[in-house]
Amino acid sequence: MLDKLKDITTFIFDVDGVLTDGSVFVTEAGEQCRTFNTKDGYALQLAVKCMYRVCVISGGKSEGVRHRLNGLGIYDVFLGAHIKLDLYKDYIAQNYIDPTNVLYMGDDIPDIDIMKAIGLPTCPADAAEEVKAVAKYISPALGGRGCVRDVIEKVLKIQGKWMSENATSL
C-alpha cells in the first residue's frame, strides 16, 4: 500500500461514516446536524493548501455539510449523489485525473463501485464488512474520529509535505 501513496494527487471522501461518525442529530424543526472532527479538518485544509484535489461525494443533501467543507477550502462537493460512480467518472474526466492517482475513502455499500474503480480504496475501521473486503487500506481510526486525518497524513508524509511550510502556517 505504501508504494501507492507516493502517486496520490486526489482525495475523494464520502461524508456520513467517514467525515462524520454516521450519527445524525435531528432538531424539532427537522434540521439534520452532523459532527465533524477538527483534526480531519486540519488535514483537509492542509491537503488543499498543498495543491491536492479534494472532492466529496455524498448521498446526503445537507447544505450545512457544504458550508463546513467550503470553509475548509473544498469546493468540489457533490451532495444528493444517488449513483456515486457516475459523479466520480464525470469528475475525473473533467479534471483529467488518472484514476490510479486517486485515494477514495468510503464506509458503506454505495461506496464500493468507486472503490473498485480507483487506485487506492480506503475505509475507516468501522466500515461495513463488504467495504473492508474491497479496501486496500483500513484506517485504525473510526469514521468521524480521525480516519480522514490518518490517510491524508500518510500521503503527505510519504510525499514529504507533512511538516512543510504549508503545514506550519495554517
Residue 71: predicted pLDDT: 95
Query: Grid coordinates standing for 10?
Result: 486526489
Is there a binding annotation on residue 76?
no
Q: What is the pTM of this model?
A: 0.93
The reported pLDDT for the residue numbered 25 is 84
**What integer pLDDT is reported at residue 154 of this predicted model?**
97
Residue 1 has pLDDT above 70, yes or no: no
Instruction: Kindly state the helix (H) or strand (E) to which residue 11 belongs, with its residue range.
Output: strand 10-13
CA angle 24, 27, 31 (to 5 degrees): 75
Domains in the chain with CATH codes:
2-164 (3.40.50.1000)
Given CA atoms 11, 146, 69, 159 in this order, what sign does their dihedral have?
negative
16 is in an annotated binding site: yes
Residue 170 has pLDDT above 70, yes or no: no
pLDDT at residue 167 tops 80: no
pLDDT digits (tens, 9 = 90+) for 42-94: 999 999 999 999 999 999 888 889 999 999 999 999 999 989 999 999 999 99
Angle at 55 between CA 161 and CA 80, to 5 degrees: 160
Higher pLDDT, 63 or 96: 96
Q: Which H/E stretch holds residue 30?
A: none
Phi and psi, residue 11, nearest 5°:
-110, 130
Distance CA 142, CA 147 (A): 6
pLDDT digits (tens, 9 = 90+) for 116-142: 999 999 999 999 999 999 999 999 999
User: How many residues does the structure list for the chain?
Assistant: 170
Distance CA 60, CA 81 (A): 7
CB 37 within 8 A of CB 148: yes
More confident residue, 106 or 62: 106
When the pLDDT of each residue in the chain is averaged and rounded to a whole number, the result is 93
